Amino acid sequence: MDKNYIPVKYTGVKNTARLIKEIGLENAIIELASYIEDDYKRWDQFDLSPRYASHTPDGVLELMPISDGEKFSFKYVNGHPKNFKNGLMTVVAFGVLSDVKTGYPQLLSEMTLGTALRTSATSALAAKYLSRKNSKKMAIIGLGSQSEFQAYAFKALLGISDLQVFDIDEKAIEKFRKNLAGQNFRIKLASSAEAAVAGADIITTVTADKKQATILSDNMIGNGVHINGIGGDCPGKTELQKSIVARSNVFVELEEQSRIEGEIQQMDENFPVTELWQVIKGEATGRKTQDEITLFDSVGFALEDFSYLRFINDKIKDARFTEFYKEIDLITAPDDPRDLFSFLNSE
């Protein structure tokens, strides 16, 4: 090792994909969900805050920080719904995990794949606590980049393989079918969102347009359904008719953030919600009856990114997986820590 720098572990796109394939996607989601669940159970140990967001006419750029007093993490992520028209991703991200004691980064990781993985794992984890125990069918409205991950997560954690799906884009539908071919899913292509949700026990909405929309209207939602609403994740962007939210028992990640960004931005400040950690810790009841509608109003929270980075960091420490990262010279280490200028004098 060059004595003039301290190596930081780096997991890029290729190595992350290789690592997940090596672990197995369903196994990785199950393990990641366990990390997220464990971190939610120690909610009180975290320094919590809403994300910082910079909104523009084209999208949003965000920083998502959190710390448990020993480790600090942040994620940079964007959301630009029109990007796909130019052959670009709607969402890209990277994250950093640091040691609080020294302030030194320990891991730099791609998190475009990571965000899809942790979002799907969180969705299925929430459904494990909130949906009816005999749930068998899931509807997915919106077949973009997140959809296959959602399908795999609900299969891995809840055993759901019957999918009723809808998207207005034929190419997205074909992409979804191709990616899940041969994976023991039973997929029914619906002609409309209303047809997709008919008879479904769980409904996942994951659309991308940055606007208030009515993906689900009140007359489409029957008793006992669990709604996994993950598309409405910034101010001015919703997917559910307000009356659905009013009828539902609503669960959120961080209430302070969700009041601004989630489906509950449509409701007044006194509208009751429960934070998911309370249910996971056993401090609040999730689903109370078979007939009630539960809604996980998910906007994504930094704790889930922290869990993902912790999961990846632990994996690449394992002797079986050390080939799935590189070391980069991100941190200077001059012989005299007061002499940073020496780097400019060196040959």
What would the DSSP string read from start to end of 31-63?
Answer: HHHHHHHHHHHTGGGSB--PPEEEEETTEEEEE
Q: Which of 39, 233, 297, 305 does the annotation list as catalytic?
A: 233
Based on the fold, state whether residues 61 and 150 are members of the same structural domain: no
DSSP letter, residue 133: T
Residue 338 falls within a domain, yes or no? no
Beta strands in 194-324 (DSSP E): 202-205, 212-216, 226-229, 238-240, 249-252, 274-275, 294-297
Distance between CA atoms of residues 180 and 253, nearest Å: 29
Based on the fold, state whether residues 62 and 165 are members of the same structural domain: no
Distance between CA atoms of residues 18 and 32, nearest Å: 16
Task: Output the average pLDDT for the chain.
Answer: 94
Please compute the mean of the pLDDT values over residues 110-137 and round it to a whole number: 97
pLDDT at 257 over 50: yes
What domain range is 88 assigned to? Answer: 5-113+303-332
Based on the fold, state whether residues 100 and 145 are members of the same structural domain: no
Q: Write the pLDDT tens digit of every residue in 133-177.
A: 999 999 999 999 999 999 999 999 999 999 999 999 999 999 999
233 a catalytic residue: yes
Based on the fold, state whether residues 136 and 261 are members of the same structural domain: yes
pLDDT at 104 over 70: yes
Based on the fold, state whether residues 188 and 308 are members of the same structural domain: no
Share of the chain above pLDDT 90, in %: 88
Based on the fold, state whether residues 307 and 235 are members of the same structural domain: no
Token duo for residue 287: 């689903």
Based on the fold, state whether residues 140 and 254 are members of the same structural domain: yes
Flag whether the pTM goes above 0.75. yes
Based on the fold, state whether residues 286 and 171 are members of the same structural domain: yes
- Domain containing 60 — which CATH number? 3.30.1780.10
